[in-house]
Amino acid sequence: MNLSYRNKKKINFSKMHGLGNDFIIINCIKNSFFLSSSTIKKLSNRHTGIGFDQLLLVEKSNNVAFDFHYRIFNSNGNEVEQCGNGARCFGLFLLLKGLTNKKKICVSTKTKPLIIEFISHNMIKVNMNEPDFTYYKLLLSNIILNNKFSITLIDENLICSLVSIGNPHCVIKVECIKNAPVKIIGKNIEKNSIFPKKINVGFMQVVNKNYIKLRVYERDVGETQSCGSGACAAVAIGIAQKILSNNVEVELLGGKLIIQWKGFGYPLYMIGPAELIYDGYIHI
């Protein structure tokens, strides 16, 4: 063994992706450990590390009502509240590693619990809870537009709709997703001072009431191939504004998701694939 590894801990991980949104997942149920922000940054580097959008940790829940606890860290080391694509990969990881044999599990997160249901070998349905529009009404009551859950940003020329899917989202409707200035506007809005914890920014092209195209600039990450919670946010906004049906196919750069929501008073569901890329280990 290389002498430099003698005092380091070996940690097994799985590299997974949900429509190109990629993760490493680590089982911390029996052996908990601390990864610093700087370590996570090094591991996430696509040239000198493993490369990933988020790090997901599987932990034991302290509450008997939950099967597991689900933690999410962005590639810059910041812990965040929610990740929809990650939830599907989290569920598949549990199944592949023999950590559960249930058809449906309930996991706790930093905010709301999630229910993960296994449909087929890699198709997973997640109950993402009811979208939350109330937080923004309280925070931005002076600039909310009536019944549209929207504000104006960037010289009052850009209408942005707001919703929380356990994490904050801003959704902008565009005529053509291909030409949308995702990086420029996304970066500008992500760090706007009215969002103290930053915000994810989605660019939505409505093709028809049952089909949208979407690109997402994720906070602390940049544009990703796919964003599950971003797809949920875009559809929730569209349904709340009565421009989308209750069952919508969302086309992202990395593939498609199905989002289902009956409207206010009901939970929102996300259905899509998850894939294992490879298993590996690191020394920390």
CATH of residue 202's domain is: 3.10.310.10
pLDDT of 40 > 60? The answer is yes
Evaluate if residue 84 carries a pLDDT over 70: yes
Q: Quote the tokens at residue 169.
A: 């989202």
Query: Does residue 191 share a domain with residue 108?
Result: no
Specify whether 138 is located in the same domain as 119: no
Domain of 233?
134-265
User: Is there a binding annotation on residue 2?
Assistant: no
Residues 83, 160, 170, 232: which is the catalytic one? 83
Set 160, 170, 227, 232: catalytic member: 227
The tally of domains found in the chain comes to: 2
Our measurement of the distance from residue 228's CA atom to the centroid of its chain's CA atoms, rounded to an integer in Å, reads 5
254 among annotated binding-site residues: no
Of 15-19, 59-63, 265-269, least confident by mean pLDDT is 59-63
95 & 148 share domain = no
Nearest in space to 181 (alpha carbons), one of 217, 231, 227: 217
Give the pLDDT mean for 51-61. Answer: 95
Instruction: Tell me whether residue 192 is annotated as binding.
Output: no
Q: What is the pLDDT of residues 130-180, one digit of tens each?
A: 999 886 664 555 555 545 677 777 665 788 889 999 999 999 999 999 999
Tell me if the pTM is above 0.85: yes
Known catalytic residue: 160? no
- 263 Cβ contact list (under 8 Å, min separation 6): 239, 240, 246
Residue 127 is assigned to a ligand binding site: no
Q: Do residues 220 and 141 both lie within one domain? A: yes
| Residue 1 pLDDT class (50, 70, 90 cuts) | very low
Q: Is 227 a catalytic residue?
A: yes
Q: Average model confidence (pLDDT) for the chain?
A: 90
pLDDT-based confidence at residue 5 (cuts at 50, 70, 90)? low
Task: Calculate ∠ Cα 55-58-64, nearest 5°.
Answer: 145
| pLDDT score recorded for residue 3 | 47
Residues 143 and 170 in one domain: yes
Is 222 annotated for ligand binding?
no
Q: Kindly report which listed range (146-160, 163-177, 198-212, 218-232) carries the lowest average pLDDT score.
A: 146-160
156 and 259, same domain (yes or no): yes
